[in-house]
Chains A and B, each alone.
Chain A
Amino acid sequence: MRSDRSTSAPLGLKIAAIGGLAFLHIPILLIFLYAFTTEEKSYQFPPPGLTLQWFAVTWNRPDVWEALTLSVKVATIATAIALVLGTFCAAAVSQTRFFGRETISLLVILPIALPGIITGIALRSAFSMADIPFSFWTIVLGHATFCIVVVYNNAVARFRRVSGSLIEASMDLGADGFQTFRHVILPNIGTALLAGGMLAFALSFDEVIVTTFTGGQQSTLPIWMLEELIRPRQRPVTNVVAMVVMLVTFLPILAAYYLTRDGDQIAGAGK
């Protein structure tokens, strides 16, 4: 029998837990407040007044649009590469047993386990040694490298639950490998891949450290943001961009959560 004591938390714990969550969320709420402030020279609190005019100003700024477009392009291509490589790697690691499996997992995780500055400077010095000019593609190359792990983690977790007997059954019934992939494997791992892809997109969209090293003259949205952080020039525009970035990254996170939440109901799970 379970005692009822465990159903309600001690008051101290409740306060500490809720206080901790408040600590995590109050700064984010402030970002939303500051996007509407009328103050443009300082970070004055409380804001002297509220206005919507900065949204219009930001909308008409070509540099913000350029940075945003570049970020979306880089994130899309990097995610696509990461999806292919991550899924391949996950399929190999989870469906077969081979020597060096652990090493492969380590290799995939390494780009994100080591500090971003190491990845960034390593890539930068390799590019300059190989005389590769910094461009759009060098940014993509860097981003794809550390996005693989996100897709891989999601796909491996799902592959473990997809029963091998389903694949054998499909082959026994006459489907070839490609048909099995298309009609049996893909429907089962689809949502996990979508979730992994969304997180990879969010990761790439937000990346700044590796980008500072692998980018040339181009500025992605985080680079634009970093410039403003170091030398604030247009605080109101930065406030609005910060809020928009926050909203844009929330969407894929929420979507990824809802996509993987029902992961227990995979056909053939537990067999």
Chain B
Amino acid sequence: MNTDKRYNRQIILPEIGTEGQEKLANAKVLVIGAGGLGASILPYLAAAGIGEIGIVDHDVIEISNLHRQVIYKTAAVGKSKAEEAKGMVLELNPEIKVTAFAEKLSAKNAISLFEKYDIIVDATDNISIKYLINDACLVTNKPMVYGSIFRFQGQVSIFNYQNGPTYRCLYPDEKVNALNCEEAGVIGITVGIIGMLQANEVLKMILQIGKVLNGKVLVYNILNNEQQKYDFEKSSEFEISKEDFEKKYNSSENQNAEIKFELIWNEISSDEVLFLDVRNNDESPKISLKNQIQIPLMNLEREIEKLDKNQVIYVFCQSGIRSKIAVELLQRLQFKNVKGIEGGALAMKKLLKDDKIKV
């Protein structure tokens, strides 16, 4: 049979055999994020014959993605990542079932999506979504295969596997300030290696071979090739029920802390409000409004006395990720009227350039 031929070189491994291949064919894996990690994970899962793969990503391909998201062609710039990734892996292996979800993962769709799959792979690029994935995995009782990178370093782990420790057991403090690839920089190889380690954990889990990173986080540094494993334990305080989940996310998602620049542009010279740029000094495009100050996110807590807790503050960064962290930080410090500007300086500059707004 063609199927046997296709997978022959892995079937002849004593650890896999036809029985193992059947396990792969019966497995359903959901990959969240079709960026750098996803581009590394997806082809390997598909080629190995994972029976059903789901791909969640609401983004479109940008030219600045291509150096690391190597499954996309230059001609696909502007197209949906989930759809393009689906097309690519089906060309690679038409014998599997692939579903593209070109939507943003949220508390509203996470549970119903996760219920359709056996293993959830976190290939996302921001921390708050990792907590959401973790919590939805706890509610649906699915294992989470975690990977993330910072510049030339990466981390891989497995959470909630056979009732094991979770993301919150490793990182209990949810109010985290960490840079993603757009902000910190990255080369394709780092996400490639970490993504492949994640794909490897998925296969091991399905085949029940080797030891998966349950209760261990692997930290990999590609500059010096050092890798270490750190053990962590389950803490019962981070259990989460379906009720807890709904309570937590319904309240936080309703708390709309983002605003479109169009809606506030008439306030750009008002003394009543303050625009807060949390980017570093050397970032462009430069935005200079009269009622604006700059405090890089890293310094925000230290320079907090520059801000008035009762003032209306609109926070922006480059694209809206750091501003979200800044808004959360300020809200935690009892600032009452803080909102982040959706799309950050890039969105603002576009409007300013379109000459809709005179500064």
A-B interaction? no
